[in-house]
Amino acid sequence: MTELKPEAFKGAHDFKTVLGDLTASAFVREGFEARFGQVNVSDRPDLADFQCNGALAVAKAAKANPRDVAGRITSHLTGDDHIKSLEIAGPGFLNFVISDSALSDRANVLREDERLGASTVDTRRKVIIDYGGPNVAKPMHVGHLRTAVIGESLKRIMRFMGDEVIGDAHFGDWGYQMGLLITAVSDEQPDLPYFDAGFDGEYPTQSPVTLADLERLYPLASGKGKEDPDYRDRARKATKELQDGRKGYRALWQHFVTVSREALIRDYGALGVEFDLWYGESDADPYVAPMVEELTAKGLVVPDQGAQIIRVAREDDKSEIPPMLVVSSEGSAMYGTTDLATIKQRTVEFAPDLVLYCVDQRQATHFVQVFRAAYLAGYAVEGQLEHAANGTVNGPDGKPFKTREGGVLKLYDLIDSALEKAKVRLEEAGLGKDLSAEDFADTAHKVAIAALKFAELSNHRLTSYIFDLDRFMSFEGKTGPYLLYQAVRMKSILRKAAEQGVGAGAVTVTEPAERELVLLLDGFDAALKESYLKRAPNILADHVYRLAQTFSKFYAACPVLIAEDAATKSSRLALVELTLKQIEKGLDLMGLTAPDQM
Rounded alpha-carbon distances, angstroms, from residue 499 to 153, 492, 503: 36, 11, 10
How far apart, in whole angstroms, are the C-alpha atoms of residue 548 and residue 579?
Answer: 8
Could you list the pLDDT tens digit for every one of the 598 residues in the chain? 334 555 568 877 899 999 999 999 999 999 999 999 999 999 999 999 999 999 999 998 888 899 999 999 999 998 899 999 999 999 999 999 999 999 999 999 999 999 999 999 999 999 999 998 888 888 888 878 889 999 999 999 999 999 999 999 998 898 889 999 999 999 999 999 999 989 999 999 999 999 899 989 999 999 999 999 999 999 999 998 998 899 999 999 999 999 998 889 888 999 999 999 999 999 999 999 999 999 999 999 999 988 999 999 999 999 999 999 998 887 777 889 999 999 999 999 999 999 999 999 999 999 999 999 999 999 999 999 999 999 988 888 777 776 555 567 788 888 999 999 999 999 999 999 999 999 999 999 999 999 999 999 999 999 988 888 899 999 999 999 999 999 999 999 999 999 999 999 999 999 999 999 999 999 999 999 999 999 999 999 999 999 999 999 999 999 999 988 999 999 999 999 999 999 999 999 999 999 999 9
Using the Cα atoms of residue 271, residue 275, residue 279 and residue 281 in order, give the sign of their dihedral.
negative
Q: Is there a contact between 113 and 3 (Cβ–Cβ < 8 Å)? A: no
How far apart, in whole angstroms, are the C-alpha atoms of residue 426 and residue 575?
Answer: 28
Residue 205 class from Cβ within 10 Å (0-12 exposed, 13-18 middle, 19+ buried)?
A: exposed
What does pTM read for this prediction?
A: 0.93
Task: Give the type of residue at 505.
Answer: G
Q: Is there a contact between 488 and 439 (Cβ–Cβ < 8 Å)? A: no
How far apart, in whole angstroms, are the C-alpha atoms of residue 66 and residue 390?
Answer: 42
Q: Is there a contact between 571 and 506 (Cβ–Cβ < 8 Å)? A: yes
How far apart, in whole angstroms, are the C-alpha atoms of residue 353 and residue 377?
Answer: 17
What structural domains and CATH numbers belong to the chain? Answer: 6-98 (3.30.1360.70), 176-271 (no CATH), 281-387 (no CATH)
What angle (nearest 5°) sits at the alpha carbon of residue 408, between those of residues 403 and 410? 95
Task: Give the phi and the psi of residue 172 in degrees, each rounded to 5.
Answer: -85, 85
For residue 358, the 8-state DSSP code is: -
Q: Is there a contact between 536 and 458 (Cβ–Cβ < 8 Å)? A: no
Lateral strand order in the sheet of 307-310: 301-304, 307-310, 324-327
Interstrand relation of 385-387 and 354-357 (parallel, antiparallel or unpaired): parallel
Q: Is there a contact between 346 and 355 (Cβ–Cβ < 8 Å)? A: yes
Q: What is the DSSP string of 503-545?
A: --------SHHHHHHHHHHHTHHHHHHHHHHHT-HHHHHHHHH
